[in-house]
Structure 1
């Protein structure tokens, strides 16, 4: 697929994101966009948001910096076309830029499609049933 862009979220994306995930209302998106520990990247085709990845920066008890992926959603019409991969690449770029040790998916109720996606992206399932990809420190 050609022609979609990835960028950080802004408030005018609210309606498109709400169509993808009705659990995210305007207030949630406003909080995410204003929080310097949050990172929400959207994929945009023409004027429509066709997918997003919602994550946040964190530090574990060993002072390892992490990016925790809360969710990644791509409109069903655009799945299998590289949209999720491009969103993940943007998160990985942020991980490198911010000297993050790990990217972790914190969802514990994975669907088959999600498991396959994380495996294709190079993530490994750990003992706590989290998908983890490390290390971005150079």
Structure 2
């Protein structure tokens, strides 16, 4: 298993992981546009886990979270492992990689949101040292 920076050529594998692990279906063309934009922005990081053949089996996508009321930290925007590779320590390796980067940047921590139905994910986060610090409603307005 190798942990490396994500690249545009990983787009198809990431799309498959999103579909299998989380039920999100996004076409490769749209995902490529989004990935190009993310890779061009310095406040985003995409880290992937690969097998020996460089096949992506998991990823974590974070952005720098800066607000007026707290110190900077990473915000996890996407984190998924191909279901057939779960429970092999890959998620832990990806979390450690991004935690190391956050410490190197002197960030105060890492935050994330997780759907209420993702109970196994919640257990994983708690086992990894993350604590539930509040519950909230999410509002959005679509255009």
* CA positional deviation for 1:71: 1.9
Aligned-residue Cα RMSD (Å) equals: 1.5
Q: Which has the higher helix share?
A: 2
TM-score, normalised via structure 2 length = 0.82
Q: Distance in 2 between matches of 1:67 and 1:110?
A: 23
CA shift at 1:107, angstroms? 3.4
The equivalent residue for 2:139 is none
Deviations 1:105-130 (A, max 9, x none): 1334450111011011100001235x
Q: Residue deviations 1:57-92, cap 9 Å, x none?
A: 121222501100012100011100000000000000
Aligned twin of 2:73? 66
Contact (CA 8 Å) 1:57, 1:67: kept in 2 or not?
yes
1:43 alignment partner in structure 2: 49
User: 1:71, 1:107 within 8 Å by CA — same for their partners in 2?
Assistant: no
- CA distance in structure 2 between the aligned counterparts of 1:66 and 1:121, rounded to whole angstroms: 17
Pair 1:110–1:56, CA change in 2 (3 A) = farther
Question: C-alpha separation between the residues in 1 aligned to 2:120 and 2:47?
Answer: 20
Q: Which residue of 2 aligns with 1:133?
A: none
- More strand as a share of residues: 1
Query: Secondary structure at 2:65's aligned position in 1?
Result: strand
Structure 2 distance, partners of 1:110, 1:123, is: 17
SS, match of residue 100 in structure 1: coil
2:60 match: secondary structure = strand
Aligned residue runs from structure 1 range 13-52, under 5 A: 13-21=10-18, 22-23=25-26, 25-45=31-51, 46-52=53-59
CA 27–109 in structure 1, closer or farther in 2 if over 3 Å, else same:
farther
d(CA) in 1 for partners of 2:97, 2:42: 16
Q: Is 2:62 aligned against 1:55?
A: yes
The SS at the match of 1:60 is coil
Q: Could you tell me which residue of structure 2 aligns to residue 92 of structure 1?
A: 99
1:5 matched residue in structure 2: 2
Q: Distance in 2 between matches of 1:103 and 1:63?
A: 12
